[in-house]
Amino acid sequence: MAIDVPPCRPGGATMSKTTLTFALLAVLTACGGRHSPAGFRLPETGDIARGERAFEHLRCWECHTVDGVALPAPTAQHPVPLGGAVTELRTDGYLVSSIIHPSHRLAHRPVEQIAVEGESRMPDFAQTMTVRELIDLTAFLQSRYRPKPTPEMYP
């Protein structure tokens, strides 16, 4: 049994940009936005300015750039960019995991630039970073990501 599906054509029934925008916002809200689907939550008390100071104090800038933030020049030969327009927003859980266990998911770059013997070049901050710094650093990084605009479906 064949199902008759009308072809997409100009002037046909299409979802308006406004309806699509509200639908997308509803989906993002339902998914928790920056919160992980598994329920991971950081306190909402993260301070962006303190997070930027932690980023500088912990010398993260040596290996990373942050979109739209003036920081000292990286000293790493191949700095890893953070922030900017992304197709999938980062959850707090993703950012925290990337900070405390950077080898869990390596960036999409040539492995020799970011890893040694399969492990991330990023140092272990377990003994030097406070929980407050982790919360603030996550808030700072969250503030630097934004959704990448999607191309128009129809002219």
CATH number for the domain that contains residue 113:
1.10.760.10
Residue 39 confidence (pLDDT): 66
The pTM score is 0.68
In a domain, 108, yes or no: yes
Maximum Cα interatomic distance, the chain, rounded to a whole number of Å: 66
Dihedrals φ, ψ of 82, to 5°?
A: -125, 150
In a domain, 64, yes or no: yes
In a domain, 35, yes or no: no
How many domains in the chain? Answer: 1
DSSP 8-state code for residue 44: T
In a domain, 119, yes or no: yes
In a domain, 19, yes or no: no
- Mean pLDDT, consecutive 10-residue segments, the chain of 155 residues? 44 40 38 59 90 96 95 91 90 88 63 62 84 96 90 67
In a domain, 14, yes or no: no
| Domain housing 80 | 45-147
